[in-house]
Structure 1
Amino acid sequence: MVRFLLRLLGYIIIAAGFVSLVIDGARSIANSSLQYTPSGLVLSTLFGERMAAWQPLIERKLHPLLWDPVMVNLLLAPAALIAFLLGFLLLKLGTPPEPKIGILTRR
């Protein structure tokens, strides 16, 4: 059941990545320059004011250097790329284990 949910969520996130890629492509063609939607903009649209509380929480609870070099760069990354990576990771986690062929079991 968990594998099914991981795969389903992975496919949904990959589909959202394709939608974001198409929107960014249309915007880039219309403006005659490369433009992409940063993942920070998507997260602030989804979470609203709660997004502003992430910085003090990460700096206080985890580590101050985790926010500035790591999270700032992740929030500036294209949303389509982050969606593809997260979706493929969830698909990989949701795959059933490979059968072990060639191992003899004796009873």
Structure 2
Amino acid sequence: MVRFLLRLIGYVFVAAGFVALVIDGARSIANAGLRFMPVSEALIALVQERYQLIQPAIERNIHPWLWDPLLLTVLRAPAAVVALLLGFALLWLGRRPEAAIGIVTRR
């Protein structure tokens, strides 16, 4: 059941990554220059006012260093790349385990 959920969420992230890639490509063609949507803009579009509450919550509950070097770098990255990487990682985690014992085909 967990593998199914990991694969399902992974496919959703891969699809979202391809959609973001197409949107970024259309924006780049329209602007005659490279343009991509960072993860921060995607989060602002999804959660709106709650986006401003993410930084204080992480600094207060987890650790202040997690916000500044790590999460700010991820938030500046292109949303398509982050979604594709996260999706492929979830698909890799949800793959079927390989058989430990099999038939040897070499002689």
- TM beyond 0.5: yes
Alignment-derived partner of residue 74 in structure 1? 74
Alignment-derived partner of residue 88 in structure 1? 88
Identity of aligned residues (%): 60
Instruction: Give the C-alpha shift of residue 98 in structure 1.
Output: 1.0
Task: Tell me how far apart the structure 2 counterparts of residues 65 and 19 of structure 1 sit (CA, whole Å).
Answer: 32
Structure 1 residues not aligned, in runs of 5+? 103-107
Instruction: Give the C-alpha shift of residue 60 in structure 1.
Output: 1.2
Residues 75-103 of structure 1: CA distance to partner in whole angstroms, max 9, x if unpaired?
1100000000110111011111111025x
Alignment-derived partner of residue 50 in structure 2? 50
Structure 2 residues not aligned, in runs of 5+? 103-107
After TM superposition, the score normalised by the length of structure 1 is: 0.90
Alignment-derived partner of residue 23 in structure 1? 23
Aligned residue pairs, count = 102
After TM superposition, the score normalised by the length of structure 2 is: 0.90
